[in-house]
Structure 1
């Protein structure tokens, strides 16, 4: 038997729902003879009568009633399949690989992921802990779709970077130190330091801040995990320069924060592959930009 036509099945279901061939023809915007041909063709292919047709309403036969129930399921599955394709083409479903630092993952990503899960549940976001340099390299290689990176970044072919947000860098200090109201490079250089490791943009920003004052920073330890750095600060192990990533002020009695003099800022951007600007990654990118705009 040749394959059944979805159009024929749709005609049959319309007749069952509306009670007549004429009503089905009007609802489907088909000529009445076309509806008749659809049903006749179906019955011929199946070798069974599906409808009782007379002067009154069209009534399903016993075989027709069971077949119509199956036809409804087939049509629903076909509609779902078409809708899935449309959603994929619109970038509403699919996997998005995103890279970011631990601080961004802890503070900026959660509300964005919550919103995406609520508004676009078809997106499957995979988060990787990466430095900005690693993220840019993986974007160029095609093994990452999107990244939140520190700015500025050297231009990378095939990767587009959009500014996202700008956060002040603060001095995080053991509360027992009783620091001045504003912390200078010279005051901080005389104390033990805990810094991000040398592969990060924040380390370079910090080194440039000290260098502008004619000083060279010598960290007691280098880490690439800001929460661990804050824990060491709370223990009195040293001071740290970290961006104010959280929207709420730090609630830790053993740590005090001070603005820097001169001021220092950490800028972030969203980097994505040019080929992904019309795909699922574009929706994650827009959610990040929208979240930053509401700050």
Structure 2
């Protein structure tokens, strides 16, 4: 069976609502012969009469009633689709897919979400917890629209990667420890450690920091969830190296935080398609850029 035109279904519904071909023609601003042609086409396709005339009024047949029920649903969904697409084109709604690490999600993304909810409440931001390499791969394949990635990254065809934030890495230790004013690799390496999973770029960054002091410590545990790491530090399980964002929540009194010597920085970038960006994605980018640190 050939595809059925929505115009013909709209005509059938109008006749069912109006009770006559003439009234349906006026409601749809169509000529009466066009109305008749639409119904004849539908009846030919289904091989059954869709309308019956009784006492001067046109009513759907039993088969027609079934088709009218589905036609109303299809027309409503088509209209909703048009409205949703129009809102997305205008930047008033739509879905944006973003990939980021747990560290960025924990403290940075909530601020961006607040701005989106305030200025663009119709945008649905879908967030995936991914490593930087996973994020870049999905951006390249078109499965993501925006990514927050650790820097530096190699240039990737089809993608734009720009520096977003530069946050200091700090030592987080149980408050009961006697901590120096600045923590060195030599001092920290002999303590029980909670470090990031070795698959992450941040893990490689901290390993290089320890190596600068001739240290190669074996952590007590490795995981990739910032809040879980903080909780373990607060419980006295060990020390951790974590970025300290300016937007981070108030420090837990059970945790002592100290700067590092030598200083260490975690840099993040924003990655997205180098092609034209739709308005919802641009609104998300604008919210993220508002949190930029030099």
Compute the TM-score of the two structures, normalised by the length of structure 1.
Answer: 0.69
CA shift, 1:151, in A, is 0.9
CA shift, 1:261, in A, is 0.4
Distance 2:31 2:129 in 1: 62
**Contact 1:145–1:276 under 8 Å retained in 2:** no
Change in Cα spacing, 1:80 to 1:256, as seen in structure 2 (3 Å) is same
Distance 2:30 2:146 in 1: 54
1:1-295 → structure 2 map (5 Å cutoff): 87-245=87-245, 247-248=247-248, 250-275=250-275, 277-292=277-292
What is the aligned partner in structure 2 of residue 35 from structure 1? none
Q: Deviations over 1:193-244 (max 9, x none)?
A: 1101011111011011111122213211110001111111112111100000
1:183 aligns to what SS in structure 2? coil
CA shift, 1:179, in A, is 0.5
Distance 2:187 2:89 in 1: 57
Aligned alpha-carbon RMSD (Å):
3.0
**Contact 2:87–2:94 under 8 Å retained in 1:** no
What is the aligned partner in structure 1 of residue 61 from structure 2? none
**Contact 2:167–2:266 under 8 Å retained in 1:** yes
CA shift, 1:262, in A, is 0.6
Change in Cα spacing, 1:260 to 1:44, as seen in structure 2 (3 Å) is closer
1:216 aligns to what SS in structure 2? coil
CA shift, 1:152, in A, is 0.9
**Contact 1:101–1:132 under 8 Å retained in 2:** yes
CA shift, 1:280, in A, is 2.4
CA shift, 1:249, in A, is 5.8
Where in structure 2 are there 5+ consecutive unaligned residues? 1-6, 8-25, 33-78
2:117 aligns to what SS in structure 1? helix
Where in structure 1 are there 5+ consecutive unaligned residues? 4-38, 46-78
Distance 2:249 2:143 in 1: 36
CA shift, 1:278, in A, is 3.7
Q: Deviations over 1:13-37 (max 9, x none)?
A: xxxxxxxxxxxxxxxxxxxxxxxxx
CA shift, 1:176, in A, is 1.3
Q: Deviations over 1:145-164 (max 9, x none)?
A: 11111111122221111111
**Contact 2:108–2:247 under 8 Å retained in 1:** no
Distance 1:155 1:92 in 2: 32
1:153 aligns to what SS in structure 2? coil
Change in Cα spacing, 1:146 to 1:228, as seen in structure 2 (3 Å) is same
CA shift, 1:122, in A, is 2.7
CA shift, 1:259, in A, is 0.2
Compute the TM-score of the two structures, normalised by the length of structure 2.
Answer: 0.69
Change in Cα spacing, 1:165 to 1:213, as seen in structure 2 (3 Å) is same
What is the aligned partner in structure 1 of residue 74 from structure 2? none
Distance 2:205 2:30 in 1: 77
CA shift, 1:248, in A, is 4.8
What is the aligned partner in structure 2 of residue 9 from structure 1? none
1:191 aligns to what SS in structure 2? coil
CA shift, 1:191, in A, is 0.9
